[in-house]
Amino acid sequence: MSDQPTTAVDLAWNVRNSVSKAVDVVDEYLARIDERDGEINAFNLVLTDQARERAAEIDEMISLGRDPGPLAGVPVALKDNLCTRGIPTTCSSKILADWKPPYDATVVTRLRDAGAIFVGKTNLDEFAMGSSTENSAFGPTKNPLDTSRVPGGSSGGSAAAVAANFAAVSFGSDTGGSIRQPAALCGVVGVKPTYGAVSRLGLIAFGSSLDQIGPFAHTVRDAAVALETISGHDPGDSTSIQQGPLDLSRTLDSGVEGLRVGRISDLPKGASPDVEERLEAAFDALREAGAEIVDVEMPAFNYGLTAYYLIAPAEASSNLARFDGVRFGMRTPAPDTNSMYTATRTDGFGAEVKRRIMLGTYALSAGYYDAYYGRAQKVRRLIANDFAAAYAKADVLLTPASPTVAFKLGDKASDPLAMYLCDTYTIPSNLTGDPGMSVPFGTGEHGMPVGVQILAPALKDHVMFQAAATLERHMQNHQDQNVSGS
């Protein structure tokens, strides 16, 4: 096994051109999982048999001269909040531990139709609530680059699966940074596309107006292909945008000549010096590549976190009300219906989920709605105004993806506020529905990776990818520029 993992694009090319067999590719990945996932715990479930069967089908198609699709034979991991027909989908919660959906999420169908092979369902913070994947009912996931550290969250399992090369591409969901932050902490590419670019049908909802599915990948191009595959209108999701798949690959190598890259001058402080340093290096790299750096002001950016922790829990309190023990999932028996609800939800949900349900219920309650949920929605509009003003001056914005590199397991587990601050830089674009992605850009403290976040206006995902590809090329050409851990 070489140091550089094979990209999904290369894997698919090899399989489609009979250079390698899908069954061999899958066996190689399954062997790695078998060898190392006991330690990492990226997966809630490894689909060994299904993956091998599917790989054999792909090879069969090739031998019959049929094209299995752009992701032919590519091992893919799915966050365990994406519904898979007949395969347990748990959200890393006791309440859904044995639940098998009777249907596939739209993204799952599209990936299968593109020839992808599902190797497993990945761990997450319960119901995607958290930033370290420590809030899982099935134990935490460890960062493959340093197993004493967290992989970030909530899509920590999916980020770790790619970082450990258990899968060439994986998928997560991002409600407040749950793809971008773990991507940064695990040193992989992670994308939250424009809200509505990818169908949410079959994604178990956390905050419906914020949730968006996106890919993790080793390279920007892999992420582009993965996102192209899952995007495009779905009549089954009313909030899905009425247009075809995103076109990202075509302009991927166009560079950033003349691109206006925004620096948020009043960005909330709190990023550690190593992260700040890498962000500066990213600005330099883009400038070097022909971009123009412009200053923008976004006074409301700082309020994103507060607004988010009212809106997301409010929606979650409603979305998670259906887990009542009546129709599916866990049920704790009790003498009457109301006590059954209480007993089931008390036993089934973990502490963080309960905390957010209570927060959200309170924020929506009669007499408090205007002060909390109502005001948060107003702040949301202010942030959108800020972004609109910023995007009048800049084509993309650059920020840290995470304030720090990966922290130690247990460091923030008992301090929810410290944990919430992990998402300071990622949350605003969930509130506005704009795309954002994290690209690995060298390392910081302890030799751990740093991710730079690129933000772009809605449906300008391809511009964001152009900047990301430029940063990636810069890193390939300047491996020596990494900040060494102290």
- Sites of contact with other proteins (CB under 8 A): 82-83, 89, 91, 96, 99, 101-103, 105, 200-205, 207-209, 235-239, 314-315, 317-318, 321-324, 326-328, 336-338, 341, 361, 364-366, 369, 373
For 203, half-sphere exposure in the C-beta direction (CA atoms, 13 angstrom radius) is 27
Residue placing its CB nearer to other proteins in the complex, 283 or 328: 328
The one catalytic residue among 131, 158, 178, 240: 178
Residue 307 contacts residue 376 (beta carbons within 8 Å): yes
Residue placing its CB nearer to other proteins in the complex, 209 or 254: 209
The one catalytic residue among 154, 170, 231, 429: 154
Residue placing its CB nearer to other proteins in the complex, 235 or 273: 235
Task: Determine if the peptide bond prior to 154 is cis (ω within 30°).
Answer: yes
Residue placing its CB nearer to other proteins in the complex, 99 or 283: 99
Residue 183 contacts residue 173 (beta carbons within 8 Å): no
* Residues pairing with 312 in the sheet: none
Q: What is the 3-state secondary structure (H, E, C) of the chain?
A: CCCCCCCHHHHHHHHHCCCCCHHHHHHHHHHHHHHHHHHHCCEEEECHHHHHHHHHHHHHHHHCCCCCCCCCCCEEEEECCECECCECCCCCCHHHCCCCCCCCCHHHHHHHHCCCEEEEEECCCHHHCCCCCCCCCCCCCCECCECCECCCCCCHHHHHHHHCCCCCEEEEEECCCCCHHHHHHHCCEEEECCCCCECCCCECCCCCCCCEEEEEECCHHHHHHHHHHHECCCCCCCCCCCCCCCCCCCCCCCCCCCCEEEEECCCCCCCCHHHHHHHHHHHHHHHHCCCEEEEECCCCHHHHHHHHHHHHHHHHHHHHHHCCCCCCCCCCCCCCHHHHHHHHHHHHCCHHHHHHHHHHHHHHCCCCCHHHHHHHHHHHHHHHHHHHHHHHHCCEEEEECCCCCCCECCCCCCCHHHHHHHHCCCHHHHHHCCCEEEEEEEECHHHCEEEEEEECCCCCHHHHHHHHHHHHHHHHHCHHHCCCCC
Residue placing its CB nearer to other proteins in the complex, 148 or 337: 337
Closest CA to 312 of 131, 132, 134, 96: 131
The one catalytic residue among 79, 121, 142, 412: 79
Inter-CA distances, 243 with 69, 171, 180, 428, Å: 21, 21, 25, 24
C-alpha span between 141 and 163 (Å, rounded): 12
Residue placing its CB nearer to other proteins in the complex, 236 or 299: 236
**178 part of the active site:** yes
Residue placing its CB nearer to other proteins in the complex, 147 or 361: 361
Residue placing its CB nearer to other proteins in the complex, 13 or 103: 103
**154 part of the active site:** yes
- Rounded to the nearest whole angstrom, what is the least distance from the CB of residue 51 to other proteins in the complex? 22
Residue placing its CB nearer to other proteins in the complex, 21 or 121: 121
- Rounded to the nearest whole angstrom, what is the least distance from the CB of residue 153 to other proteins in the complex? 20
- Rounded to the nearest whole angstrom, what is the least distance from the CB of residue 194 to other proteins in the complex? 15
Catalytic sites, residue numbers: 79, 154, 178
